């Protein structure tokens, strides 16, 4: 996988050098607020597979949909949120890259929709899509290859 993207003004650029562990569409109120939209599409990937060039993103911390800290990273020139780090997410040093910042955002499709309890009522999810009212258990949802990568990350074998 070789996906590239960046902020709106081009000061921050990045390349993903590995496939995502998972791609989430998150419908929590926090994601709605910070994106100004009905949901966000996050690419869950290890930080080591995100090659950034250009400006260093600024960050601040807020409470995520789980109630735990959620650090958001953005361009201090144009304000574009490029990724997040969720304290509640297992897997070591993982980033949640905003799929909307990809040069080709239709290159990824959500594997799962989460926090649908706060999904906007006019939004219809695709038929047969994995969807959860809150979070989910990784063992129940992730494919074996992603679970093995996560296991290696937690063990420090990456």
Indicate which CATH number applies to the domain containing 101. 3.90.1590.10
- In this structure, how many other beta carbons lie within 10 angstroms of the beta carbon of residue 51? 11
Task: Evaluate whether 60 touches 153 at the Cβ level (below 8 Å).
Answer: no
93 pLDDT band, cuts 50/70/90, is confident
The DSSP bridge partners found for residue 84 are: 72, 96
The DSSP bridge partners found for residue 41 are: 25
What integer pLDDT is reported at residue 92 of this predicted model? 65
What integer pLDDT is reported at residue 9 of this predicted model? 98
Q: Which two tokens stand for residue 44?
A: 């869950």
pLDDT in tens, 103-149: 999 999 999 999 999 999 999 999 999 999 998 988 888 999 988 88
Q: Which two tokens stand for residue 141?
A: 């949802």
pLDDT in tens, 24-83: 999 999 889 888 999 999 999 999 999 999 999 999 998 766 677 889 999 999 999 999
**Residue 45 domain flag:** yes
**Residue 22 domain flag:** yes
In which domain, by residue range, is 88 found? 3-153
Which of these, 30, 29, 31, 9, lies nearest to 99 by C-alpha position? 31
- pTM of the full structure: 0.91
What integer pLDDT is reported at residue 158 of this predicted model? 55
Tally of structural domains, the chain: 1
Highest mean pLDDT among 6-15, 91-100, 142-151: 6-15
What integer pLDDT is reported at residue 109 of this predicted model? 94
C-alpha pair distances (Å), 78 with each of 12, 61, 95, 116, 123: 10, 19, 20, 30, 29
**Residue 158 domain flag:** no
Could you tell me the end-to-end alpha-carbon distance of the chain, in angstroms, rounded to an integer?
18
What integer pLDDT is reported at residue 78 of this predicted model? 97
Q: Which strands sit side by side in the sheet containing 12-16, from one edge to the other? A: 3-6, 12-16, 50-54
What integer pLDDT is reported at residue 140 of this predicted model? 87
* Cα distance between residue 9 and residue 6, in whole Å: 8
**Residue 115 domain flag:** yes
What integer pLDDT is reported at residue 123 of this predicted model? 95
What integer pLDDT is reported at residue 39 of this predicted model? 95
């Amino acid at each position: 996988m070789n996906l590239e993207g960046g902020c709106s003004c081009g000061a921050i650029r990045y390349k993903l050098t590995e496939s995502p562990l998972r791609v989430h569409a998150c419908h929590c109120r926090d994601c709605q607020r910070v994106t100004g939209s009905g949901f966000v599409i996050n690419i869950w990937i290890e930080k080591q597979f995100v090659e950034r060039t250009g400006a260093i993103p600024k960050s601040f911390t807020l409470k995520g949909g789980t109630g735990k800290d959620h650090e958001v990273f953005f361009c201090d020139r144009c304000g574009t949120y490029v990724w997040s780090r969720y304290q509640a997410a297992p897997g070591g040093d993982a980033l949640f890259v905003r799929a909307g910042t990809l040069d080709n955002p239709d290159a990824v499709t959500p594997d799962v929709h989460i926090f649908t309890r706060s999904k906007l009522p006019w939004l219809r999810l695709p038929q047969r899509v994995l969807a959860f009212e809150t979070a989910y258990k990784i063992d129940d949802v992730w494919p074996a290859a992603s679970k093995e990568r996560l296991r290696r990350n937690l063990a420090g074998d990456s």
